[in-house]
């Protein structure tokens, strides 16, 4: 698991973090299909996992890149939620994803960490791990939108 980031110790909403972990076991839609579950959360980080299943493999026996991209997208925004005021709405502006090695079996874990955050945006790194090695890495930007929508 990533370490807690002391920069965020004061603002971290531990109750919200606990609720997010609990809710992630009841997701529907795309995360449910992929089997994505949050397995850890803390000040400035989130960890999410999915298991390799036959229907997530491409014809060459490797996990479809789209599944990895979906996992990355899922954990990217999650880590900022417990750091921002209730009502503020985080929206992923963009991310860049590098595929590093094929995934063939086992569990895929994505760990996201907040690298920097202002009132308006957050920048997040994601590492994706499988069988003891790094298989993908990503860097993305989150927009933090105020409760009263202004654009």
Mark out the alpha helices in the chain (DSSP H runs): 14-23, 29-34, 65-78
104 binds a second copy (CB under 8 A): no
121 binds a second copy (CB under 8 A): yes
Q: What are phi and psi of 22, to 5 degrees?
A: -65, -45
| Part of the chain binding a second copy (CB under 8 A), chosen from 14-22, 41-49, 78-86, 111-119 | 111-119
16 binds a second copy (CB under 8 A): no
Considering the complex, state which of residue 5 and residue 13 has its C-beta at the smaller distance from a second copy.
5
The binder of a second copy chosen from 13, 39, 95, 107 (CB under 8 A): 95
**Which residues, in sequence order, are CB contacts of 14 under 8 Å at separation 6+?**
82
How far is Cα 135 from Cα 90, in angstroms, rounded to an integer? 26
Exposed, middle or buried by CB within 10 Å (0-12, 13-18, 19+), for 34? buried
Q: Minimum Å distance from CB 72 to a second copy?
A: 8
Query: What is the pattern of x (binds a second copy, CB under 8 A) and - over residues 31-70?
Result: x-xx-------------------xxxxx-----xxxx-xx
The position carrying tokens 């919200």 is: 16
120 binds a second copy (CB under 8 A): yes
How far is Cα 135 from Cα 112, in angstroms, rounded to an integer? 14
82 binds a second copy (CB under 8 A): no
């Amino acid at each position: 698991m990533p370490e807690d980031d002391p920069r965020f110790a004061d603002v971290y909403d531990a109750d919200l973090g606990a609720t997010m972990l609990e809710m992630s076991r009841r997701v529907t839609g795309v995360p449910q299909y992929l089997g994505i579950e949050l397995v850890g959360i803390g000040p400035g980080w989130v960890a999410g996992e999915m298991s390799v299943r036959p229907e997530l493999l491409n014809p060459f026996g490797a996990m479809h890149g789209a599944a990895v991209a979906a996992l990355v997208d899922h954990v990217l925004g999650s880590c900022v939620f417990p750091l921002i005021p209730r009502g503020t709405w985080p929206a992923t502006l963009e991310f860049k994803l590098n595929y590093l090695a094929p995934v063939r079996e086992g569990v895929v874990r994505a760990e996201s960490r907040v690298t920097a955050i202002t009132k308006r945006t957050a920048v997040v790194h994601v590492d994706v791990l499988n069988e003891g090695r790094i298989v993908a890495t990503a860097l993305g930007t989150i927009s933090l939108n105020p409760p009263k929508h202004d654009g």
